[in-house]
């Protein structure tokens, strides 16, 4: 990261902290969407490749511009959320107004008295998604890549650790599992056995476990996706849903949950991934700015 990027990052953190202190929560979200794109060092850096992916799929430059603006706004709201996650006080989350569509699928599948896999994708409000999912009054365990060895963690490790601790407090008894390939299965299986909703993102081409990487058709391209958690869920007959979170403005959020497998039918990894990717395709065709993955489209 260049000295200019570091400076912009520090200015962004200072600005989000100031908004958190002086503004009501809904206004802070809205103002961050308008202002942080001018400070965030990563937004402009990724614009060209993001727009290329959008243009390849849709061939509509006006749509691509609108999607980019939405993407930048969601990245910015996520950074504002980070100003809360980096502190000890967790009371702020009560201000989030949430509408959940499809909660009945989780309630129905949980009737089997076992855990449930929640497949999502790399959208912006990742930690908030997991913590608002806990409003279903079930423990939520989040799987995250253990990146404590990389240079980014060396620079911002204390902040990242605070965010993980904060998120875990809002997980209704769940936890954040930082995984590496050699220690993937045991903590996840334990979470299933304890009846947790286990959240995993399955659209990321930079998977860290090549053994469980698979190529799938997606839009008019392909995605190289991690499937390790899907193998575990299928083997143990764990129910599966796909879900995502959208910001509606101010303090309002909407969560969409779709069924993938009830844990009873016979299903393999390929079929589970196909159903999940169908949900993802529909979501981002309707609202392309929700997905961070346009930069992965070749």
Domains: count for the chain: 1
Which range is least confidently modeled, 143-152, 174-183, 286-295? 143-152
Cα–Cα distance for residue pair 199/116, rounded to 1 Å: 9
Query: What is the spatial distance between Cα 32 and Cα 113, in angstroms, rounded to a whole number?
Result: 41
**225 confidence band (pLDDT: 50, 70, 90):** confident
pLDDT, one tens digit per residue, over 81-124 is 999 998 999 999 999 999 999 999 998 887 656 899 999 988 77
Task: Note the pTM of the prediction, 2 decimals.
Answer: 0.92
SS3 76: helix
**Contact present, 221 and 298 (Cβ < 8 Å):** yes
19 C-beta neighbours (distance < 10 Å), count: 20
* Least trusted range by pLDDT, from 153-157, 197-201, 208-212, 253-257: 153-157
| pLDDT of 156 | 62
pLDDT value at residue 93: 97
When pLDDT is averaged across residues 254-272 and rounded to a whole number, the result is 94
Distance between CA 16 and CA 8 in Å, rounded? 12
pLDDT of 78 reads 93
- Classify residue 196 by its DSSP letter: P
Rg of the chain (C-alpha set):
19
List the domain range (segments joined by +) for residue 248. Answer: 3-296
Asked whether residue 298 carries a pLDDT value surpassing 90, the answer given is no
Taking only the tens place, the pLDDT of each residue in 52-77 is 889 888 888 899 999 999 999 999 99
> d(Cα 277, Cα 272) in Å, to the nearest integer?
9
Confidence of residue 155 (pLDDT cuts 50, 70, 90): low
Query: pLDDT tens across 5-58, in order?
Result: 778 888 998 999 999 999 999 999 999 999 999 988 888 888 888 898 898 888
């Amino acid at each position: 990261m260049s000295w200019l990027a570091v400076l912009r990052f520090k200015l962004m953190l200072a600005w989000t902290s100031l908004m958190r202190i002086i503004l009501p929560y809904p206004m802070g979200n809205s103002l961050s969407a308008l202002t942080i794109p001018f400070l965030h060092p990563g937004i402009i850096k990724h614009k060209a490749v993001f727009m290329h992916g959008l243009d390849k799929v849709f061939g509509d430059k006006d749509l691509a511009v609108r999607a980019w603006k939405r993407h930048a706004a969601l990245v910015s709201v996520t950074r504002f959320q980070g100003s809360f996650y980096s502190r000890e006080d967790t009371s702020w989350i009560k201000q989030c107004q949430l509408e959940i569509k499809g909660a009945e699928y989780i309630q129905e599948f949980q009737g089997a008295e076992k855990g449930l896999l929640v497949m999502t994708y790399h959208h912006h409000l990742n930690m908030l998604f997991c913590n608002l999912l806990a409003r279903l009054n079930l423990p939520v365990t989040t799987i995250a890549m253990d990146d404590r060895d990389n240079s980014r963690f060396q620079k911002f490790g204390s902040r990242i650790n605070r965010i993980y601790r904060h998120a875990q407090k809002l997980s209704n008894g769940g936890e954040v599992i930082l995984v590496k390939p050699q220690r993937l299965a045991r903590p996840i299986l334990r979470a299933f056995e304890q009846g947790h909703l286990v959240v995993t993102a399955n659209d990321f081409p930079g998977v860290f476990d090549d053994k469980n990487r698979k190529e799938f058709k997606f839009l008019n391209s392909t995605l190289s996706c991690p499937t390790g958690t899907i193998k575990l869920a299928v083997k143990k007959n764990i129910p599966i849903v796909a879900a995502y979170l959208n910001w509606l403005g101010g303090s309002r959020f909407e969560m969409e949950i779709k069924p993938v497998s009830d844990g009873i039918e016979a299903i393999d990894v390929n079929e589970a991934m196909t159903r999940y990717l169908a949900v993802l395709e529909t979501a981002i065709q309707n609202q392309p700015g929700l997905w961070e993955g346009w930069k992965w489209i070749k």
